[in-house]
Structure 1
């Protein structure tokens, strides 16, 4: 049984994230996810750039979790934070990283679940309705909502929450009337409730957090015992020299800092494509 069975965990969100987090964690942990409102989380940073996010992604999630704990008076809190970066393979496509942070003040620990994958993020500079219509169709609108503003991506006159074709058309007409350069900037809405692809990754982050919380330290039984380092050096299957493929994993406790090194068991030798000697 989880140490969180019967306990309440505060979750501060105004974008509906409890809808994908609670169904994963409540049955797995036996806890209750307490949805906390009463604070505008957009004040901590927005994807539309009108309010910059200070600090790192993890720091932002931590701030939200702490705020939820303060508002609810609970010693347990969690929050998620997303970011969009170029993909790690080609650098050409949007990549979505989702973090879900759990803070447990009774144990003095912080455990982070993560998920990442292709992000649903795009934009267009449109000069006519046909361009907007084509972009919206390509972006799976209205399932994925859109954001619009006149002139450029930096114009402060932003229109959010565009969720139907009538609203898209009226928003375009209004922005075009405000635009000095006869151009309207349209982009995907990256808020969780407006972006189903983000919601799917947030759910995956909750699953990852569930697995981490189920992994207990062999020294102190605290949850969150997980891999913190992979040590390279698995021998090449051709020349037997060490490669960049990992040969062992370092597991670390977030509570007592106990560490153990576990040898890799799925394979014993590495593909020569990972061998510096074979690829001279």
Structure 2
């Protein structure tokens, strides 16, 4: 099974309304010879919003698959690409946020589903409650405004509702919005946060590109048994022995590659190129 035979000259539908095709399309076209399109009037907000008006249906992978399926239904094509991002506190490093981006390829013609991923601490994801313009300006400067957009929200006293203004990318618009919010807020406080939609966040867009590269690497990884693309790591096994005492550590000893097409599995020892762990990372030698 040759990669070019699978994808060359086919139409790939990129399921986005936030300009993600700017980083995804060139990579797919260059590496797989796919002709990409974006469905017109495609509303991805129905699959969840970062500003929490609409809850995401399930996890990241579920949401991305729903986007891809919807794009295929709208266009009648058989190949779709969709992405989904999340921003959460880093699991190991306190007080730092992380960005996980996934990019999924759904190929109904060949019954293939492959997911690329990027996990990064390179993100400006942040939020703050402000009570005046100087505080708003300080926050904006800290998160890379105006190259990165902002979102302002407040509880409006007169309307008895939560007001949200997104996509703020100029100093004039920021000043106008903050002033309006302060004048109408129930408690004189305004919520200011980074706009995490891809078209307003170049840092996130870079992570989407990296996730797309990971997707392409997995596509090019062919199963040794059936030659299907997507022969990827599905499990990591800890236990790399300490170089000094030989006791197993928490570092990766081996990885398991799995083919979703035929089910073939293969274990690869020492995926990081080291047969022993540094004693500094051993709980016995360095408790």
TM-score range (shorter-chain normalised) is over 0.9
* Correspondence list, 1:254-265, <5 A: 254-264=260-270
CA contact (8 A) 2:256 2:266 kept: yes
Take 1:12 and 1:21, find their aligned partners in 2: how far apart are those partners?
A: 11
TM-score, normalisation: structure 1:
0.94
Task: Say which is worse superposed, 73-82 or 86-95, in terms of deviation.
Answer: 86-95
Matched, 1:89 2:92: yes
CA contact (8 A) 1:13 1:37 kept: no
Q: 1:221 aligns with which of 218, 227, 230?
A: 227
Q: CA deviation at 1:44?
A: 1.1
Task: Say which is worse superposed, 130-139 or 53-62, in terms of deviation.
Answer: 130-139
Q: CA deviation at 1:247?
A: 2.1
Take 1:194 and 1:13, find their aligned partners in 2: how far apart are those partners?
A: 14
Q: CA deviation at 1:163?
A: 1.3
Q: CA deviation at 1:189?
A: 0.5
Take 2:48 and 2:252, find their aligned partners in 1: how far apart are those partners?
A: 37
Matched, 1:108 2:111: yes
CA contact (8 A) 1:80 1:98 kept: yes
Q: CA deviation at 1:244?
A: 2.2
CA contact (8 A) 2:61 2:84 kept: yes
Matched, 1:147 2:151: yes
- Alpha-carbon spacing, 1:137–1:276, altered in 2? closer, same or farther (3 Å): closer
Identify the residue that residue 130 of structure 2 maps to in structure 1. 126
* Correspondence list, 1:1-280, <5 A: 1-2=3-4, 3-118=6-121, 119-151=123-155, 156-264=162-270, 266-279=273-286
Q: Deviations over 1:221-277 (max 9, x none)?
A: 111001111222222211123222222221101211110112226112111234343
Take 1:178 and 1:243, find their aligned partners in 2: how far apart are those partners?
A: 57
Q: CA deviation at 1:37?
A: 2.8
Take 2:138 and 2:247, find their aligned partners in 1: how far apart are those partners?
A: 54
CA contact (8 A) 2:124 2:144 kept: no
Q: Which runs of 5+ in 1 are unaligned?
A: none
CA contact (8 A) 2:105 2:113 kept: yes
Q: CA deviation at 1:204?
A: 0.3
CA contact (8 A) 1:126 1:132 kept: yes
Q: How many residues align?
A: 278
SS at match of 1:63: helix
SS at match of 2:204: helix
Q: What's the RMSD between the two structures over aligned residues?
A: 1.6
CA contact (8 A) 1:151 1:185 kept: no
Q: Which runs of 5+ in 2 are unaligned?
A: none
Poorly superposed stretches of 4+, deviation over 4 Å: none
SS at match of 1:157: strand
